[in-house]
Chains A and B, each alone.
Chain A
Amino acid sequence: MNKRLLYSLVLSGAIRYFISISKYSKSIENHVEVSTPLNSFKRLKEGVFLYNNGIDPYIGDIFHENPFILITASFLLNNFADFISLIFIFVDLVTAVFIFYGTKGISKKNFKKQQLEVSTYAEGTEEIQFNESDINNVPFYCALAYLFNPYSILNCVGQTTTVWSNLILSLMVYALSKELKLLCLILLALETQRNFYPFILIVPIALAFSENSKSKNINRLMTILLFAGIFGGLNYLAFIQMSSWKFIDSTYGFIIHCRDLTPNIGLFWYFFTEMFDHFRQLFLYTFQLNTTILYLFPLTLTFKESPEFLLTILLSLITIFSSYPCIGAIAFYMSLIPLWKRVSPFMSHNFIVMTTFLVTSILGPTVYHLWMYANSANANFYFGVTLVFSTSQIFLLTDLCFAYLKRKFCLSHGVSFDKTMKLSLE
């Protein structure tokens, strides 16, 4: 293994460990930015307790994880209860390792793809072309972006199940880069079971696996059907395990219907607290369409030549717009952004986006404290801050998309232009 990666792993593992044994770990775990109804460790423990006592945890409104996580957690809590925080840290570090190898594979692939096209590029574009050294550097940056991202550190200390989610996703990226189709689809199905929204990632994955095949459309269709089969199979396995279908409503239903209006960093809770009940269904489906398939088709058509980029964009979209977003998921998509290092010269909002991230990340917990504990501020303060936070994420996303297109244009037309020319991608 890479030496500097090893150092970073040790260092970030130490940071996670020291924070998790400090007195702050409990309050981090209780923060709504970290723990949502979907991923909180407290609820997981409750669910395991019910399960071990022979009560179906899906009957109540506490537990919303899928049965496989329930069984795994039950096993871990029964056998390794004292090492739980260490296990979480270990899982998080493994995630970083898989991000490293996954993004390495993708970088290699990008470089190879570029070798085929490089003859068509304009002169003087070396600066924005993928470079051979990127194959070593970029994965390291990606791993760093995960290891030292405060969001992922807090997520790990808060012991949310998003840590496991991130492991599954990183494994999926790894499988994708190694072209292990079956593994990739199983992992995607697992993650879909946990979080529902990732099912749209089947599109970039189908695109990626069909790149070298002759009959592309059939291949894609087969991939999607295979995914559907695996997903159905997994749900059936879960049914056998739980011997009831209750979990379907308690997991997918809970996510789609947004039943828990606990404040979080997303856009759902405030809106649906205010909503007249008559219109709830209408807006619910509008919101869910917005999260899932509204942007799926246009983005797919635009970025179909680079499924990995599409994957990054879709992953961040579902993170921003999902019904129970948390900072752990944000940390994961952020760790994939360094993959597009060569796109970054075209990004024009870095500074503003980063500043807004910082300010809202500090201001959010502050006004939440004022609202909940000091009893002085109210929901509007917190929603205002989270709205700005989401907006800055969207800025980051659109900026990335535009930068990608600008780079593509510049690769074929060169980076210097006549002053009189007006160029716009509108």
Chain B
Amino acid sequence: MGLLSDPSLSASDKKLKYINLISKYANGFCFLLYLVGFLWFCALSFPQLQSNTYFSENALLPGLVLSEIKMDTVNMARTLLTELEHERETHKSAIPYPWMQAKMKQIGLETYVHNFTLNYPFGGGKTFQGKNIYGILRAPRIGSTESIVLSVPYRPPNTAHTSITSGVPLLLAFADFARRQKYWSKDIIFLVTDQEQLGMQAFLEAYHGDDENNILDSGTLYGKAGNIIAAINFEIQDFDVEFNNLKIEGLNGQLPNLDLHNLVVKLSHKFVLPIGYKMKMGSHHREDAVENFFNLLSMMWTQSSGIPNGNHGLFHKYGIEALTIESVKRESSGRNQNIHQKIMALLKIIEGISRSLNNLLERFHQSFFFYVIVSSDRFISIGDYMPSCGLMAASLFVKSLLIWLMANNKPDEEEANEKKSDDDKIVIIRKSSMRIEVLRIGTVILCSHLVGVAALVITTNKIIHDYLFSMNIPTQTGIFYLVSIILAFSILLPKFLKLNAFDAQFLNIAVLIELGTAFLSVSMLNFSLGFFLCVLITPFAIFINIQEGTKRNLFKFLIRSLLHLLIHPITVIYGVICMLSYIAFSEMNFNYIMDKSISATVDGITYAVVDSLIYGNWLFDLTCLILLPCWIIFWIMNFSKPVEKISKQKAE
């Protein structure tokens, strides 16, 4: 029973000795844990610690069937592209619906148009309209129970993004081919979405009857196919493809099943189109750990924001495996002779993927859902990467445990004197001279979290934004004011909530546990975000110690306060944006970048708010509800008064 509970009564002396030992090296020990966690992650960049990708789902049978696509489909794709280019001259800012609808109907698909409306949360009831168009190819062999989605975002000619017009003809040509086949056992939905991710979100919401979102009015779908089990999104810049790029990071850092990724990679290899994850052209050294490390970081960086990097990312929320194939245009000018072969290869890849998905008997469940891709054929699974986050979060728990032990077992001076007199006795129950003021600690925790809740409410509340609009303040400026109010309030809070160092210790315990728990669950949901948060915040949280002793060292106090301000969420966002823009525009003047970054920060926060409202990205909510309150608690702890001072004051 000793395992479950400590049955001995006399161990407290030994325990005290250990505690004294530990308390001396507490910070060092915690930092060691952190370092081990970090090094663990670095070690993952060695190829020996990575696994090669493999297929778990046998039903996929990738590339086993003979491809039946013939030259006529290729020619059709080219003709359709010419027609579409012609249509685009007259439809400058919208999808050429009549043409597309006619084509889909001609091919023999059930064709529908889906209307949706965005009630923009900022700017006094502005609305945006959009129209998706989709065609359903009913499975001839089975009732409409399951379906797969092949989607293309349509960008009108006046878009600011890279043009990806070639996707539509490719998809229509494939639809024409697919309709003539009789082996489909899953419906295929050919979807052309409007307004980038908004259209996709509206389609998915309407498809799943999810009408909780009152900002995006997702409208109704007049035709539905079966349960969607997988989706492939195409962003095809041109038929003259240089290479294909895979995009997998979805909303809130969710990833598709690794089997789907492998499937696409395998088929691309089979039809000799270069493909890769975050592909850079140039030679790829398999054994280079440094390059691997940067590949890892670049994937994790994309994943950590929780913003999908393609339309596929929105499917993940509904438990649908999806990814985007981005075909990158060849840079060199001059018409390529073998463009027919490129189109053929693309079509064969689509055919191969569709037929493999068609084979599936159950949903994807075999392979990994939690992984980090190093290169297109190697990955790191959850069991290998999780310990690094676990160790870093554990250092927070250990630190809080050590503070707890030290606070409860600190030998008081009086007692030490007493102890000298009868040295051979141990006292099991020691009366602590200080009482923890639970109420005060609770108040601090509650207040700091209330500030967080307030930050979330005032930035997302429609009434406040309508008011700002009526005052003729642009959204960005309005958000800037709101954020400054929160900033000022969070910095001024220690003025109203005072603590002594003894209570601050218990506050420290509470905040460490909160952070540790948050990091653990965030890294389960979105490993990359959890990892970056751990790396950034853990060392800071470890080295924050409550100042003890009677006098406050002013210099140390100032250094500490500065450090605190450096780690404020807003400062961090600003720092990150500064860094990114410095990397992107390294030729510019640094002061100019610093200047520009302020407005970029405000824009960034605005987009985060919009993302949270429309798509359900929880990064902003997490920052407001957990990270900001934790920062405030640390900040309040920084201003705690030394113990003696207070007891003296009381005596006076």
At the interface, yes or no: B160 with Cβ under 8 Å from chain A?
no
Instruction: Name the CB-closest residue of B to A394.
Output: B4
CA distance A81 to B319 in the complex (A): 36
Stretch among B63-71, B422-430, B486-494 lining the A interface: B422-430
Q: Is the CB of B10 within 8 A of A423?
A: yes
> Would you call A417 and B5 a contact (CB within 8 A)?
no
Given A345-B429, A416-B425, are A402 and B7 neighbors across the interface (CB < 8 Å)?
yes
A interface residues, how many (CB within 8 angstroms): 44
| Contact A128-B363, Cβ < 8 Å, known A395-B5, A402-B7, A422-B10 | no
Answer yes or no: A134 CB below 8 A from chain B CBs.
no
- B196 CB to nearest chain A CB (Å): 23
Partner of A375, one of B363, B423, B516: B363
Give the residue of A346, A351, A355, A377 whose beta carbon is less than 8 angstroms from that of B369. A377
Q: Contact at A402–B6, with CB atoms within 8 Å? A: yes
B312 within 8 A of A: no
CB of B9 within 8 A of CB of A406, answer yes
Option from A359, A373, A425 in Cβ contact (under 8 Å) with B7: A425
The CA-CA distance from A416 to B421 in the complex, in Å, is 14
CA distance A363 to B426 in the complex (A): 41
Q: State whether A424 and B8 are in contact (beta carbons under 8 Å apart), knowing that A127-B431, A373-B319, A415-B427 are contacts in the complex.
A: yes
Please state if A419 and B363 are interface contacts (CB–CB under 8 Å): no
Q: Give the shortest distance, in Å, between B628 (CB) and chain A (any CB).
A: 18
Q: Which residues 29-50 in A have Cβ within 8 Å of B in the complex?
A: none
Instruction: Give chain B interface residues in 296-322, CB to chain A under 8 Å.
Output: 316-317, 319-320
| Docked-complex contact A398 and B10, CB < 8 angstroms | no
Q: How far is the CA of A422 from the CA of B8 in the complex (A)?
A: 8
Q: Is A358's beta carbon under 8 Å from chain B? A: yes
Q: Which residues of A contact B607 (CB under 8 A)?
A: none
Q: A359-B517, A362-B521, A363-B524 are in contact. Are A348 and B5 (CB under 8 A)?
A: yes
How far is the CB of B364 from the nearest CB of chain A, in Å?
Answer: 8
Most chain B beta carbons < 10 A, residue from A378, A394, A419: A419
Across the interface, do B9 and A398 meet the contact criterion of CB distance under 8 Å? no
CB of A374 closer than 8 Å to a CB of B: yes
Say yes or no: B429 contacts A127, CB within 8 Å: yes
**Is the pair B428, A417 in contact by a Cβ cutoff of 8 Å?**
yes
Min CB distance B558 to A, Å, is 34
Q: CB-defined interface of A387-406 with B at 8 Å, one 1/0 digit per residue?
A: 00000001100110110001
B9 touches A425 (CB 8 A): yes
Residues of B in contact with A, size category: 35 or more
Bound CA span A377–B316, Å = 13
Which B residues are CB-close (under 8 A) to A243? Answer: none
> CB-CB < 8 A to A362: which residues of B?
517-518, 520-521
Q: In the complex, which residue of chain B has the Cβ closest to the Cβ of A407? A: B429
Q: Which of B9, B427, B525 has the most chain A CB atoms closer than 10 A to its own CB?
A: B9
Shortest distance from the beta carbon of A284 to any chain B beta carbon, whole Å: 25
Enumerate B364-402 residues with CB–CB distance to A below 8 Å.
365, 369-370, 397, 400-401
In whole angstroms, how far apart are the Cα atoms of A421 and B517 in the complex?
Answer: 41
Establish whether residues A359 and B9, one from each chain, have CB atoms under 8 Å apart when the complex forms: no
Measured between beta carbons, the chain A residues less than 8 angstroms from B10 are: 417, 419, 421-424
Distance between A253 CB and nearest chain B CB, rounded to angstroms: 33
With a cutoff of 8 Å between Cβ atoms, the chain B residues found around residue A424 in the complex are: 7-10
Query: In the docked arrangement, what's the CA distance between A345 and B432, Å?
Result: 11
B513 at the A interface (CB under 8 A): yes
Question: Do A128 and B369 touch (CB < 8 A)?
Answer: no
Set of chain B residues within 8 Å of A410, measured between Cβ atoms: 9, 428-429
Given contacts A351-B401, A358-B513, A398-B5, contact A363 B319 (CB under 8 A): no
Residues in chain A near residue B415, CB distance under 8 A: none
Whose C-beta in chain B lies nearest to the C-beta of A347? B5
Contact A358 to B517, CB < 8 A, known contacts A402-B5, A424-B7: yes
Establish whether residues B426 and A366, one from each chain, have CB atoms under 8 Å apart when the complex forms.
Answer: no
In the A-B complex, the 7 residue pairs with the smallest Cβ-Cβ separation, listed nearest first, are: A375-B319, A376-B369, A423-B9, A398-B5, A366-B521, A425-B7, A424-B8
